């Protein structure tokens, strides 16, 4: 026999084994619905419950994480204060080093203001060390003097009279992390071979309008750029002394010297990141007459010391497409 069957109102019968399958299928649907409810409840608890989680106490970021602000200043304490108040609010800042080459040491009141302002503006009460790196000699080479005991691989070199939004700085930092031996910055410049002088190779320096017109660049200036902290050691202790001497004597071109150094190590071009900039200082030396000529002279002095021109041109640009209409 095939077993008992249940009667139906129509007089037809359905085998008992099919009834068992229907009950099983209905039960599995209920189990699935219950599991879905449990998963949804777990997500709700994660989303809303963490609002009441206790915050962790302030602490130093682990070594190698984040970046060090290396800020160059000269008798502009008001601009220095504005800059540090701003950059202390950026998420990735680990510490701030101020290159100080003035004859008088920073005052106690300046120390206190910067320390308090940094703690008030840091994200989540994170501790950010603020330190003055004092120099006896007034030289532009001081901005790249080797610093012992840094907690980060990344250096963000910045002048005290330019401010970039934290979102732009974090974008540049993420780009630098993808190529940590490269120089990643916001201010592109270009060089080219002047073929009008056939007897000797002669290079010319081009500012922003040259970059815009030619669509290429070969340098990013250290007034706003990321680079690896090892380049401080290379610049101070291994770069040809003749280049440092020229920078000290002529009070110019330390940024070109750093660009040449990095390019000579990597054999690659720098990386330009488009960022939002606010200039809070007065016009700098780039506005003075003969600026491009003096910068061209630096290129023609430095390149023969290396025995070749290390700089490499590129036309790549990094932008944040979330804040740009054209990309």
pLDDT tens-digit profile of 112-129? 999 999 999 998 778 999
Instruction: Choose from 50-59, 189-198, 222-231 the range with maximum mean pLDDT.
Output: 222-231
What distance in Å separates the CA atoms of residue 93 and residue 114, rounded to the nearest whole number?
A: 15
- As a whole number, the mean pLDDT across the chain is 83
Active site residues: 255
| pLDDT average, residue stretch 147-153 | 93
List pLDDT tens digits, range 77-107.
999 999 999 999 999 999 999 999 999 999 9
Q: Does residue 244 register a pLDDT over 90?
A: yes
Q: Does residue 35 register a pLDDT over 80?
A: no
Closest among 65, 64, 82, 60 to 73, alpha carbons compared: 82
Exposure letters 179-196 (e unless 16+ CB within 10 A, then b):
eeebbbbbbbbbbbeeee
- Residue 200 Ramachandran class (φ > 0 left, ψ -120 to 50 alpha, else beta): beta
| DSSP-assigned beta bridge partners for residue 157 | 70, 225
What distance in Å separates the CA atoms of residue 205 and residue 239, rounded to the nearest whole number?
A: 21
Q: Which band of pLDDT confidence, cut at 50, 70 and 90, is reported for residue 257? A: very high
What distance in Å separates the CA atoms of residue 166 and residue 150, rounded to the nearest whole number?
A: 22
List pLDDT tens digits, range 157-187.
999 999 999 999 999 999 999 999 999 999 9
Largest CA distance in the chain: 111
List, in order of start, the domains of the chain with CATH numbers. Answer: 67-323 (3.90.550.10)
């Amino acid at each position: 026999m095939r077993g008992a069957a249940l009667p139906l109102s129509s007089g037809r019968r359905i085998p008992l084994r099919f009834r068992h399958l229907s009950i099983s299928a209905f039960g599995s649907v209920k189990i699935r619905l219950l599991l879905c409810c449990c998963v949804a409840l777990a997500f709700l608890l994660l989303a809303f419950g963490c609002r009441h989680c206790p915050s962790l106490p302030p602490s130093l970021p682990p070594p190698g994480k984040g970046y060090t602000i290396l800020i160059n200043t000269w008798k502009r304490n008001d601009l220095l204060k504005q800059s540090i108040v701003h950059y202390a609010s950026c998420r990735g800042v680990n510490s701030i080093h101020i290159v100080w080459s003035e004859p008088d040491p920073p005052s106690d009141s300046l120390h206190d203001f910067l320390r308090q302002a940094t703690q008030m503006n840091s994200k989540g009460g994170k501790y950010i060390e603020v330190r003055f790196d004092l120099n006896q000699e007034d030289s532009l080479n001081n901005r790249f003097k080797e610093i012992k005991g840094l907690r980060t691989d990344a250096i963000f070199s910045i002048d005290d009279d330019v401010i970039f939004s934290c979102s732009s700085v974090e974008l540049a930092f993420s780009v630098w992390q993808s190529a940590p031996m490269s120089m990643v910055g916001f201010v592109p410049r270009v060089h080219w071979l002047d073929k009008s002088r056939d007897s000797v190779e002669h290079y010319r320096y081009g500012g922003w309008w040259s970059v815009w017109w030619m669509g290429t660049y070969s340098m990013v200036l250290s007034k706003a750029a990321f680079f690896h902290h090892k380049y401080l050691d290379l610049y101070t202790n291994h770069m040809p002394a003749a280049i440092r001497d020229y920078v000290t004597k002529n009070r110019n071109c330390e940024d070109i010297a750093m660009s040449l150094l990095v390019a000579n190590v990597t054999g690659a071009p720098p990386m330009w990141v488009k960022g939002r900039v606010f200039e809070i200082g007065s016009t700098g030396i780039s506005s003075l007459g003969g600026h491009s000529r003096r910068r061209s002279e630096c290129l023609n002095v430095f390149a023969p010391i290396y025995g070749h021109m290390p700089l490499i041109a590129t036309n790549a640009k990094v932008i944040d497409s979330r804040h740009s209409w054209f990309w």
